[in-house]
Structure 1
């Protein structure tokens, strides 16, 4: 069967350990080219990671006949442009999260995927991590009964500003960067969100983007949810609780904490470590799907739902842009 030969557009920090080596270590997958606008940095990455080709022009990588599929690891402001170019060239795309700057851009990308008849995948890799597959297994086992409510609290200390808090590059602030993971994971575990209300503000005044967000939502299944994100807190912490008629499951999206199942009978913990290259399990499902040997659960069609939730929560804060 065919080996999928990958090219990376934007070989920055996220590709050093989290994702880049995953394309080399996944079965029937090979990383053959990388691109970065700084030619010296592109060449350095290729040398250090034993990648045969490097480019400083994204279009040259897309046009390379030895590149079968393209991974876009740039900031969100460039996702739509590169994804559409790659798909128009007939090449499947795996794009970093969030999928794009807003829902309108996501819709353009999905239309390009349909027109070119090539798949579009999004790097919501928590859907395939063993820890969260265990959470899904526990939910499906019925151990906590019928799910009624999910709550999320995410606290972060103020950190020096970066492109992630520049809305013109990232699509918002740290909420967009990190809450997208949690919201997509809840979509995977509990199904799509049907309705949403939210509030966003800026309490720290360190930058223009939002730094505090509250969302309330109802899933299509009837489950209710609330989320609170504050990025000017005294500590770094995140916790999700899924409450059912017989118990609850507590777990963290980002921190290396155990899954805790609490019922009237007692408490049980499951500590499941993440793989070293954290995107590799999802990358494997992408490769398998491209080879006709399986499916990937994180596609443009699923990822646009998360973008829609974030847009709805933030629309009052970004009236001019959304």
Structure 2
């Protein structure tokens, strides 16, 4: 099978991460970088750098692109790539807001070029293992889904001005991943409530948030998060997925799912059920079981393998724009719920979009 020729648009931190992944993958070849501000990454990986997309497509044969430029350029870049017939792996967020996302989806449906949105945690084998356990009925009908994300961001993090401004808090920057996995494991969220706090740093941006969600299947969920609270609980610490940036606490869990038949903790994949043929009662001791979580495989390599399959037309994207827009809508509803201190129904946002 011939190597897929991949170009990276955007030579920042994520661009470099993707470049390192491409050169490790047996089925992909990094052929170019497109960045108007610096050719340093292109030189590092010994490939040409192009300052604009037209030059890239004019001079380079490409099977797919990875879009990792600043968020405000995601939609326009993806549309240009699709107009040239090039499948895209588009880093999250899909767009800055719902309106932008809808414009991208409209163009994609006209052009019929696939886009894989970079919600990379869906590719983690642990999530696939958890999903299989849930689908086997280990927990029965899910009733509650509790998620935690709590770290202490160092003070120098906030020396960067935009890190101190509204829109750059834990909700938009960090929790979109957890919300996406809550949806992926338990279905769509239909309404939200939220409270935010700025008490730790007194900045425009929130440092702590508490979110309550109602799922379409009737389950309730919570997501409690802070970037000013010391703890061992959070996806990055517990899965060891990002060892270069986060200290690890691999013996801890960050998601707790319970239902009519049992309970499951993630990422360590311990689950509890009543003994066979016993009465279901709070007076009966639960039996703890465990499957070994797969923490060995590189999530970005797995995502790239999926992108190769998308390019080849063998699979549909595990995270499509039509799916990823729901994360953007969810963030907007949570922000509204926190601001107005009321329950916000996602259906009301959908209705407003239809009448706009």
Given the two structures, how large is their TM-score scaled by the length of structure 1? 0.85
Query: Would the aligned equivalents of 2:171 and 2:209 in 1 still touch at CA under 8 Å?
Result: yes
For residues 305 and 276 of structure 1, the distance between their equivalents in structure 2, rounded to whole angstroms, comes to 28
1:95 matched to 2:93? The reply is: no
Q: CA deviation at 1:277?
A: 3.7
What whole-Å deviation, never above 9, does each CA across 1:48-89 have from its counterpart, x for those lacking one?
xxxx32223344335444123221112322212322222233
For residues 236 and 41 of structure 1, the distance between their equivalents in structure 2, rounded to whole angstroms, comes to 36
Q: Name the residue aligned to 1:241.
A: 256
Q: CA deviation at 1:179?
A: 0.9
Change (3 A) 1:150 1:118: same
Higher relative contact order (CA 8 A, sep 6+): 1
Q: Name the residue aligned to 2:146.
A: 151
Change (3 A) 1:214 1:277: same
1:262 matched to 2:275? The reply is: no
Residue ranges of structure 2 left out of the alignment (5+ in a row): 235-253, 275-285, 341-348, 350-356
For residues 139 and 104 of structure 1, the distance between their equivalents in structure 2, rounded to whole angstroms, comes to 34
What whole-Å deviation, never above 9, does each CA across 1:161-195 have from its counterpart, x for those lacking one?
24773668xx5323212211111112111112122
Residue ranges of structure 1 left out of the alignment (5+ in a row): 253-257
1:208 matched to 2:204? The reply is: yes
Q: CA deviation at 1:216?
A: 1.5
Query: Would the aligned equivalents of 1:9 and 1:71 in 2 still touch at CA under 8 Å?
Result: yes
Given the two structures, how large is their TM-score scaled by the length of structure 2? 0.78
Query: Would the aligned equivalents of 2:115 and 2:321 in 1 still touch at CA under 8 Å?
Result: yes
Paired residue total: 308
Change (3 A) 1:147 1:318: closer
Change (3 A) 1:81 1:134: same
Q: CA deviation at 1:141?
A: 1.2
Q: Name the residue aligned to 2:182.
A: 186
Report the secondary structure of 2:299's partner residue. Answer: coil
Coordinate RMSD, CA, aligned: 2.6
Change (3 A) 1:116 1:242: same
